[in-house]
A and B are shown apart, each in its own frame.
Chain A
């Protein structure tokens, strides 16, 4: 199985801050890495697919980069509505696996 190491597990930041989350995989997955936002009681939402492609309708302050085993997710300017848990997910091989999640809070 492909192991996912996502960090940090929690993060406190101020409105307007630049926020970065990292995800490392246990083997090369080329660019088969997605990022999701999940708010309590809601359905998870796809933000970034294939490492760096912005899903339609998602604000441009969200971005992703990386390839191989190391990936980064960035919010360029944190907004109040961005409070959520964020997950990375690999879809290079079965079983499909998610990172442990990063809980983002407002400082």
Chain B
């Protein structure tokens, strides 16, 4: 069974930092590109970042570029998102998402999400 379990969310002040983790199991983690997608309260889904299976190719949404850093540890089956210089508008549930198949992003498995709240 494919499982994606996020952790590391919480309350942080504007300008602060946080590191999200995603523990993957039930599939060959090193064979899949991975992504982060977020949903702000009352808003829709927003793609945040993609990282290829080998970490060679990394992409970010303009809204987080230069502040967030995605990484992975294939040996441990883990995906990470370092969130720096956090703003109120970064408040959201962050989902760890597996990419399946062709194209850039068909998201076939999602974690339950980790809530990040940015507030003073």
Contact = CB atoms under 8 A, between A and B. Distances in A.
Interface of A: 32, 34, 36, 38, 42-46, 49-50, 55, 85, 87, 89, 91-101
A42 B45 CA distance: 13
Contacts of B95: 43-44
Interface residues of B, number: 24
A95 B62 contact: yes
Contacts of B46: 98
State the main secondary structure of chain B at its contact with A: loop
Interface of B: 35, 37, 44-47, 50, 59, 61-62, 95, 100-108, 110-113
B107 A34 contact: yes
A95 B59 CA distance: 8
